[in-house]
Each structure stands twice: as structure tokens, then as C-alpha cells.
Amino acid sequence: MFKRIFTGFLLVASCLLVLAACSNNPSDEGAGSDEEVVASVNGKEIYLSEYNLAVDQTKKNYVQQGMDESSFNDEMLDELEKNVMDQLINTELFTQQAQNAGIEVEEEAVDAQLNQLKGQFSDESQYKEALEANNLTESSLKGDIKQDLLVSQYVESNIGTQTASEEEVQARYEMVKEMAKSQEQEVQELEEIRAQLEQEVVAQKQQVEVEKLIEELRDTNKIEIYL
């Protein structure tokens, strides 16, 4: 529940799946020099403990969505681990680019995001249980939020503003109608779901632009993977 709520606030998460959900970075917390390194981005090391934590958290996310962990076969696990590695690398790439661009995140913005997140829980006890279940403290969570906001600002400033044209909304609506028809379901009138359709079109365009940005950054930065 906790991670789903957390990532629900993030533009980048919507574009890159769980890009920021795996952002706990042991290398920033004084990881030992003898710890195994699994990858590096422009010399910045990503440690095995960070990678394992991200893999475990991603598995938890799937379980929270109703998937039985015992159903993961070798092919699924290989794909999951590859995606996690990509997410860690992409996060580090974006973070470095944001820092190089001089982007800063105000503490007020972090606190506002944290308070909005905490408001999704019924009480303080449930919030603390969620922190514990996800191996987080409030301090580390605030660090994650700050990094997520940093990355979000960088991404937003580099993909431009995306809009949905009437033709695109109409095309999306036709697709929805076809899907509803195949499932023998009724579909709402266009004007009733226009806002939702516009959001979906814009989100799809944002994802395309983010993927282009990732490809460009991965082509122009030094990335090494040791696994």
C-alpha cells in the first residue's frame, strides 16, 4: 500500500514505472568500500545492497497488486532484475543531470509532499507500520521524496509541455469503446470521461519523451554494469 501511494504522487514514476520507488541509495549513506559494486554511472557506484533492496521492493509491489510471488518463474525474475538495474541507472543519470543543471528542491516542497503522503493513512500508527514494512525511516523517506522531486523537475524541464488534441482524444475514446464492446460493457459518453482521456494521451506522450531522454543520456554518459 505504502509504495503504491508514494509513487502515485510522482510524474516520473508514472513515466518510468517505479523509477523513484527504488531510490534508497546506500552509496549516499556511507556504504563500505569493500561492498560489491554492481554498476556505475559516470564513476558513481551502485552497490549490491542497493540493488537487492530495489529487487525486493519491486517484488513487494507486485505482491501488493495481487500477484503471487511463488508464480515468478526464472524468465520473469530475469526481466524484473533487468528492469530494476535500468531503473537504478536511470535514476542516477537523472539525479546527476539535475544536480549539474543546478536544480534545487526546497524543504517546504519536501514537507508538503510528505504531509500529503501521510494524509493517505488513517493514523500515525498505520503510517509508521508502512515505513517499517518498507524498510524506511521518515528521514530516508524524505530523502527519497527530495530525490524524486529533483528528478521530476529535471524531467519536466527537458520533455516540454505535452497536450492532447481533439483528434487524439477522439481516437482514444474510439479505442475505449472498442475495448468496452469486446467485453460487453457500456461506455460513458465522451464528455463524461474527456478529462481522463486527455490525461491518458498526455501521459503516453510524456512517457515517449522520457524514453527518448533516457536513450540520449545513456548514449552520452559512461555506464558500466558488472552483474
Predicted confidence at residue 192, as pLDDT, reads: 95
Give the residue among 87, 75, 85, 95 at the shortest CA–CA distance from 38: 85
Establish if 166 belongs to a structural domain: no
Establish if 87 belongs to a structural domain: yes
What total of structural domains would you count in the chain?
Answer: 1
Establish if 122 belongs to a structural domain: yes
Give the residue among 29, 30, 25 at the shortest CA–CA distance from 46: 25
Establish if 223 belongs to a structural domain: no
Establish if 192 belongs to a structural domain: no
CATH number of the domain to which 154 belongs: 1.10.4030.10
| Residue-range definition of the domain harbouring residue 143 | 2-161
Establish if 182 belongs to a structural domain: no
Predicted confidence at residue 11, as pLDDT, reads: 37
Predicted confidence at residue 33, as pLDDT, reads: 59
Distance CA 46, CA 160 (A): 30
pLDDT tens for the chain, 227 residues: list them: 344 334 333 333 333 333 334 444 444 444 555 789 999 999 999 999 999 989 988 888 888 888 888 888 899 999 999 999 999 999 999 999 999 999 999 999 999 999 999 999 999 999 999 888 877 899 999 999 999 999 999 999 999 999 999 999 999 999 999 999 999 999 999 999 999 999 999 999 999 999 999 999 999 999 999 98
Predicted confidence at residue 16, as pLDDT, reads: 35
Predicted confidence at residue 57, as pLDDT, reads: 84
The four Cα atoms 97, 57, 204, 223 give a dihedral, to 10 degrees, of 30
Establish if 82 belongs to a structural domain: yes
